[in-house]
Amino acid sequence: MAQKYKEDFLKWDLQTLSDGIRTKEISPLEVTRHLLKWIEVVNPKLNAFITVLYEEALESASQAEKEIVTGNWRGPLHGIPIGLKDIIYTKNIRTTMGSEIYKDFAPDYDAGVVEKLKQAGAIIIGKLNTHQFAYGPTGDRSYFGAVKNPYDLTKMSGGSSSGSGAAVSAGLCYAALGTDTGGSVRIPSACCGIVGMKPTFGRVSKYGVYPLSWTLDHVGPMTRTVFDNAVLLNVLAGYDERDPYSVKEAEEDFTRLIWSGVKGSVIGVPTSFYFENLEPEVESQIRKSLEVFEGLGAEIRMIDLPDMQKISLAQQITIRSESYAVHRETLLMGLERYEKEVRERLLLGKNIEAYEYVQSQQVKHYAQQEFRKVLEKVDVLVTPTLPILPPDIDQREVYIKGNCEHVRDALLRLTSPSNFIGFPSISIPCGFSEAGLPIGMQFIGRPFDEANLYRFAYAFEQEVSIPTLKYDVN
């Protein structure tokens, strides 16, 4: 291998590495060996991985290399090391849910998305830390300890896909899978300065993924670039009869619109809720980003989304009810087995009455209609991903323009409505604070319109070119 590859390939994005592997300029086995060494150096600082699959990854890399050398290239993920959030089942490999209860649990089958990755020739490099049972946006409540932000080790990585966000950001894997129930792909993506997509509900199979809330859970890709994200979603998407929420949609290439540009398009910017009570640096960066779109030829149109507080409350009732139902039997076996905050949140669902849950589902239909009406008039909605910068680990209150808010509520405020309505939503980095912390911008689109979201995200990414790899973790 040429010396330049040894020096640089850990910093490449997925597509660049894939091109090098396909043309046999670089070896999957060499990449994996170097990556495992880098994980040994950096993971003790970040705590992103719960389990690193040394033997399995090297075996997969060796197999990929043999196949590619003989001309059997399976596609853009062949030979690419990818990490998995540790609530995604892996056959005979422990899957802990970030909990003491499952610290030694090894499923006897792979999740649907893992099957797809393996069929595509991807290398599973390890299982990534998660807020316990994926029930928390802070990423600092795991049996295996808090995940730290690569940009500042005193700051949260965001959750619940905390390890996924930190690992991709710090170059410990070329992509990762996360799950998103109230923002758990997009929140760590924003905190760690990477790209995270929550697809349309039902677009990606949840078979073999430990549930938090059946009607709100999504699996999504987390990557360094927008194009990488679309390539990964190409592999993940598809109907799975084993998932009762899976939706049959025609197969498509999510990169198909990515080079189309945004000239002549219309971007909707909400007049309230999404732009209320923001930290000044966040608001300033989003406003600058909208100016970039104007410079690219897009029209910015102010729009109104009514009853957002009612919609947010209905989402909370839904997740509390469903998460308690998921965990009820285990809770009865011993409350002390749950981390204190997670236990308290789960118990909030115990006394919700049936009529409240039913009413929340009626609000869901109303919310879907209202968002559809708006998205008939604009091509995409643009909002901040988070109203705040990444907080300190263990911080639980934040003051925004003099108003005190629970950190958890602030982190979830702008992402959870997209889970409730099931519409696709992506977070991309749009800049940094004065202290060097990442700021995320969110795009919300029509159902099954992910390709269009990638178009807008890619246009911005190419124009602004914000680094998405924090390779000098100290």
- Three-class secondary structure assignment of the chain: CCHHHHHHHHHCCHHHHHHHHHCCCCCHHHHHHHHHHHHHHHHHHHCCEEEECHHHHHHHHHHHHHHHHCCCCCCCCCCCEEEEECCECECCECCCCCCCCCCCCCCCCCCHHHHHHHHCCCEEEEEECCCHHHCCCCCCCCCCCCCEECCEEEEECCCCCHHHHHHHHCCCCCEEEEEECCCCCHHHHHHHCCEEEECCCCCECCCCECCCCCCCCEEEEEECCHHHHHHHHHHHECCCCCCCCCCCCCCCCCCCCCCCCCCCCEEEEECCCCCCCCCHHHHHHHHHHHHHHHHCCCEEEEECCCCHHHHHHHHHHHHHHHHHHHHHHHHHHCHHHCCHHHHHHHHCCCCCCHHHHHHHHHHHHHHHHHHHHHHCCCCEEEEECCCCCCCECCCCEEEECCEEEEHHHHHHCCCHHHHHHCCCEEEEEEEECCCCCEEEEEEECCCCCHHHHHHHHHHHHHHHCCCCCCCCCC
Residue 142 designated active-site = no
CA atoms within 13 A on the CB side of 103: 9
Q: Which of 121, 42, 52, 45 is nearest to 86 (CA)?
A: 52
Q: Which of 157, 160, 162, 265 is an active site residue?
A: 160
Q: Which of 18, 27, 85, 198 is an active site residue?
A: 85
Q: Which of 184, 205, 213, 323 is an active site residue?
A: 184
Residue 27 designated active-site = no
Residue 24 designated active-site = no
Cβ atoms of 146 and 98 within 8 Å: the answer is no
- What is the residue type of 430? C
Which amino acids are annotated catalytic? 85, 160, 184
